[in-house]
Chains A and B, each alone.
Chain A
Amino acid sequence: MELTNEYIKQRLEDKFGEQVTQFETPYGMFSFETTKENNLKVLQFLYDEPELGFQFLTDITAVHYPDQEGRELAVVYHLHNLAQNVRIRFKIFMPISQPDVFTATSLFACANWMERETYDFYGVNFVGHPNLKRILNVDEMDYFPMRKEFPLEDQTRADKDDDMFGRGGNIF
């Protein structure tokens, strides 16, 4: 039996009902959204069901949407069914003032480093993570550089050509 997007959607809706929303297929990749308390349940369900079998966690990352009030941070989970070569992803949203989600390290060992990276760059606090500290940036850093309120370049430089660095120059 082939694993189709419709079938996955059907199974998810039977199990979680109203708590899975926003089903869409951008560029052919099935994706949906769930509530932030539900992330481990959804991961466990997709892992355990023999017909679904999403047993490989490709990536965890986050997105910052500064315009969405109360749901500024999204954590994105990418899953892969290796047997049938099907990929899906889902997002969970949370307010930036309280970015706490449950850690997936008990389900996937590789989530350890992925969540550390997500914490490093976006400041998502993974509750229950065994070693939540920065992994790529220097430990002394006191901000989360991939959040959009953080300017990518230093705005006070005078010794570099502004046209090249997005500081008010015009490239056209």
Chain B
Amino acid sequence: MSRPVRFNIHPKQPDIHNNVAIAEMPPGLGGEGYFATSLESVVGLARKNSLWPLPFATSCCGIEFMATMASHYDLGRFGAERMGFTPRQCDLLMVMGTISKKMAPVLRQVYLQMAEPRWVLAVGACASSGGIFDSYSVLQGIDQVIPVDVYVPGCPPRPEAILDGILRIQDLVHAESLRRRNSEHYKALLNSYGIQ
């Protein structure tokens, strides 16, 4: 007796309606054979559900993130299935763990090598504020060197908290205007970090 999986060669009942997650349709005008909506909402929808995380894991939060990636918590459910361990095609930098002052230029270089649009998630107390390491060698929060979109509290945060951070990032990505990255405000923000 073969297992009743979706892709059985001889399915008893083809079932594609109850186990495929479908994203919410953006508001728009629809009719017989056409659907009209704003480009912004379609692009937001596509970006939101195909985030490519770049894990920058240095310590215990990184271990917690491995649990988040693994089968039980399954980060892949949110369209973030593919981890890229390179800045080349990724658009979400997840910084997990203590960043020492010696590591800060490396982190900044990784951020600069990512192409726009890019988002940053600071996971855990150390990446967000230096955490318990209030000392001469530790960067007191990565927002001293790169702009951060979402902070996840916890020491270390549970996988649910990391998933919540990802969902918050998805909300930001979904709602972001296509013109935001060209705005004066955004350029001023990057300039405050010394990025052209």
Q: Is A160 a contact of B136 with CB atoms below 8 Å?
A: no
**B129 surroundings in chain A (CB, below 8 A):** 159-160
Across-interface contacts of A145 in B (CB, < 8 A):
136-137
B54 to chain A, nearest CB (A): 24
User: A154: which B residues are within 8 A, CB to CB?
Assistant: 134, 140
On chain A, the number of residues with a Cβ less than 8 Å from chain B's Cβ atoms is 13
| A157 close to B (CB within 8 Å) | yes
B191 partner residues in chain A, CB cutoff 8 A: none
A150 cross-chain contacts in B, Cβ below 8 A = 136
Contact status A152-B136, CB under 8 Å: yes
Contact A152 B135 (CB under 8 A): yes
Bound state CA distance, A145 and B137, in angstroms? 9
Supposing A154-B140, A159-B129, A160-B129 touch, asked if A137 and B102 sit within 8 A by C-beta, the answer is yes
- Shortest distance from the beta carbon of B6 to any chain A beta carbon, whole Å: 50
The binding surface of chain B is classed by DSSP as: loop
Give the residue name and chain of the A residue nearest to B135 (CB): A152
Chain A residues closer than 8 Å to B102, beta-carbon distance = 137-138
Residue tally, chain B, CB below 8 Å to A? 9
Does B101 reach chain A (CB closer than 8 Å)? yes
In the assembly, what is the distance between CA of A145 and CA of B100, in Å? 15
Say if the beta carbon of B46 comes within 8 Å of chain A: no
- A167 closest partner in B (C-beta): B134
Q: Bound state CA distance, A153 and B140, in angstroms?
A: 11
A157 in contact with B134 given A137-B102, A138-B101, A138-B102 (CB within 8 Å): yes
List of A residues within 8 angstroms of B101 by Cβ: 137-138
Instruction: Determine whether B115 belongs to the interface, using a CB cutoff of 8 Å to chain A.
Output: no
Q: A36 to nearest B CB, angstroms?
A: 27
In the complex, which residues of chain B have a beta carbon less than 8 angstroms from the beta carbon of A23?
A: none
Identity of the chain A residue whose Cβ is nearest the Cβ of B137 in the assembled complex? A137
Whether A164 is near chain B, meaning CB under 8 Å from some CB there, is: yes
B195 within 8 A of A: no
Q: How far is the CB of A120 from chain B (nearest CB, A)?
A: 11
A56 contacts chain B at the CB level, 8 A cutoff = no
- Give bound CA distance, A159 to B140, whole Å: 11
Q: Please state if B135 and A164 are interface contacts (CB–CB under 8 Å).
A: no
Considering the complex, give the chain A residue whose CB is closest to the CB of B105: A138
Interface residues of A (CB under 8 A from B): 137-138, 141, 145, 150, 152-154, 157, 159-160, 164-165
* Extra inter-chain contacts (11) besides given A157-B140, A165-B134, CB under 8 Å: A137-B102, A137-B136, A137-B137, A138-B101, A141-B136, A145-B137, A152-B134, A152-B136, A153-B134, A153-B135, A154-B134
5 contacts between A and B (CB under 8 A): A137-B102, A141-B136, A150-B136, A152-B134, A152-B135
